[in-house]
Amino acid sequence: MKTRRIAALPVAALSLAGIVLTGPAPVAHAASSGSFTGLNGKCLDLPNGNTANGTPVQIWDCNGGGNQNWSIEGDQIKVLGKCLDANANGTADGTKVQVWDCNGTGAQRWTYNAGTRDVVNYNANKCLDVAGWNSGNGTNTQLWTCSGGANQKWNFNGSAQQGNNLVSEAQFNQMFPNRNAFYSYAGFVEAVKAFPQFGGTGSDETRKQEVAAFLANVNHETGGLVYIKEINTANYPHYCQWDSAGGCPAGQDAYYGRGPLQLSWNYNYRDAGNAIGVDLLHNPWLVEQNPAIAWKVALWFWHTSKGAVWNGPTPHDVMVNGRGFGETVRIINGIECGGAHPDQVQSRVSSYQRFAQILGTSTGGNLYC
């Protein structure tokens, strides 16, 4: 569970709304195209560019070929016009991963989480795995129970991300007219490149709703992108849990809320840093010094946090599956819900409504938590 405290921001500095809808089933929209690198830097590869149905997917030295250029399109992952597929819709450990004509079945529905670097098959709820931890050229991939091992971790090196394409710089400035210069649009764009599913899953309406929901929560947490770090310095020593893995090497009071979603606690800095490749456990100050890192940490939290429910959905999951903006609030700061802090919830909801209007989309239902 990833818990965090929010900087005590004045309600007057916060803004607006939230909404989410139960829209149509996801449709393919190219979020990004690029390579997947995994165990020992090897690339996910289609042998010799063979597009015959049933061709196994393997790893190979990266060479920039079209047979290593994958696209994430909604919940499908494609190469050379074929879809990544679990053989015979299998769910058992060891199921062969192959390519097949795209058909929309559960065998071809995947999610890539840039925060955890897992590629998970929806139907099996299992990870794309390099068989036997063998990094030799030609080693096949398979489905296997997710373990967190390096043979199940994939970096997606993509371009042409959707999330920032859905928000122009003019719209960004309209949303945050008084923002601190630290929270740059360029930093946001750079961070989104690491999270291809952000604003890249589902219909146009759903994708815009996710972006609006994320930015609405950001707006509330930071007083309109004004605050870079938590205001109440008296809270700073609270966010160190010495008995968690790694301890607090940066000091007792070093893990206070920072960035667009005011990340706090030493274990969150450790996990976020591991995910984006930066040692934030020893240097958490990078989140208040580097705009791209600040945005990446917030997007990592959006794609990994499950609030108080260990096996619950993430805010990303909530938005792309039409569960409602209110559920994102419950995950991010559940203490506001259930009537405990109605003004705080209304602040988020109002921001979401305004941002959805700016992006030209509807809001949907289930706005409150």
Q: How far apart are CA 20 and CA 41, in angstroms?
A: 39
Q: How far apart are CA 341 and CA 326, in angstroms?
A: 13
Rounded distance, CA 369 to CA 367, Å?
A: 7
Give every CB contact of residue 4 below 8 A, 6+ residues apart in sequence: 257, 261, 262, 263, 264, 265, 268, 301, 333
How many C-beta atoms lie closer than 10 Å to residue 181's C-beta?
Answer: 7
73, 190, 210, 221: the catalytic one is 221
Comparing C-alpha atoms, which of 1, 17, 3, 5 is closest to residue 345? 17
Q: Strand 141-144 vs strand 118-121: parallel, antiparallel, or unpaired?
A: unpaired
- DSSP letter for 56, please: B
Relative to beta strand 70-73, strand 30-37 is: antiparallel
Phi and psi for 248 in degrees, rounded to 5?
A: -130, 70
* Sign of the torsion angle spanned by Cα atoms 321, 323, 326, 329: negative
Q: How far is CA 85 from the centre of its chain?
A: 23
Pick from 281, 251, 277: nearest CA to 269 = 281
Handedness of CA 16, 21, 26, 28 (dihedral sign): negative
Give the integer Cα–Cα distance in Å for 211 and 25. 18
β-bridge pairing 30-37 and 126-130: unpaired
Q: Is 230 assigned a catalytic role?
A: no
Q: Quick check: 361 and 209 in contact, CB under 8 A?
A: yes
Count the helix, strand and coil residues of the chain and give each as a percent rounded to the nearest 5.
35, 15, 50
First to last CA, the chain: 19
State the catalytic residues: 221
